[in-house]
Amino acid sequence: GDSVTQMEGPVTLSEEAFLTINCTYTATGYPSLFWYVQYPGEGLQLLLKATKADDKGSNKGFEATYRKETTSFHLEKGSVQVSDSAVYFCARYLTGGGNKLTFGTGTQLKVEL
């Protein structure tokens, strides 16, 4: 079935460190891919998206590239800040599937000074 797999957390980094959060998906059809972020006590915010192979989504210094050959959509940021501490969810959406998002399990990021 459709699934999204994320790396286990929590991920703890020092401020200004490089961030990678891995995400892979099952490849039935041609899904669109998203990263959502959830700050403590809040709802989900769309961070970035990519709709086809080799697309790069970017926002607020975060980037992710849709890699069809490896069925991956890894999230990266060159220099994290304490304010980036949150839970990050990778999600896939398949056109014609009733607009149902399939979420990964989420990865908690903690950034320390």
Q: Which residues bind another protein (CB under 8 A)?
A: 32, 34, 36, 42-46, 49, 51, 89, 93, 95-101, 103-106, 108
d(CA 112, CA 109): 10
Question: Is 1 exposed, middle or buried, given 0-12, 13-18 or 19+ CB atoms closer than 10 A?
Answer: exposed
d(CA 112, CA 69): 35
Rounded to 5 degrees, φ, ψ at 110 are: -120, 125
- Please report how close the Cβ of residue 106 comes to another protein at its closest, in angstroms: 5
Burial 93-105 (b: 16+ CB within 10 A, else e): bbeeeeeebbebe
- Please report how close the Cβ of residue 99 comes to another protein at its closest, in angstroms: 4
- Please report how close the Cβ of residue 48 comes to another protein at its closest, in angstroms: 11
Q: Which is nearer to another protein, 63 or 97 (CB)?
A: 97
- Please report how close the Cβ of residue 93 comes to another protein at its closest, in angstroms: 7
d(CA 53, CA 58): 15
Q: Which is nearer to another protein, 13 or 94 (CB)?
A: 94
Q: Which is nearer to another protein, 26 or 108 (CB)?
A: 108
Q: Which is nearer to another protein, 46 or 82 (CB)?
A: 46
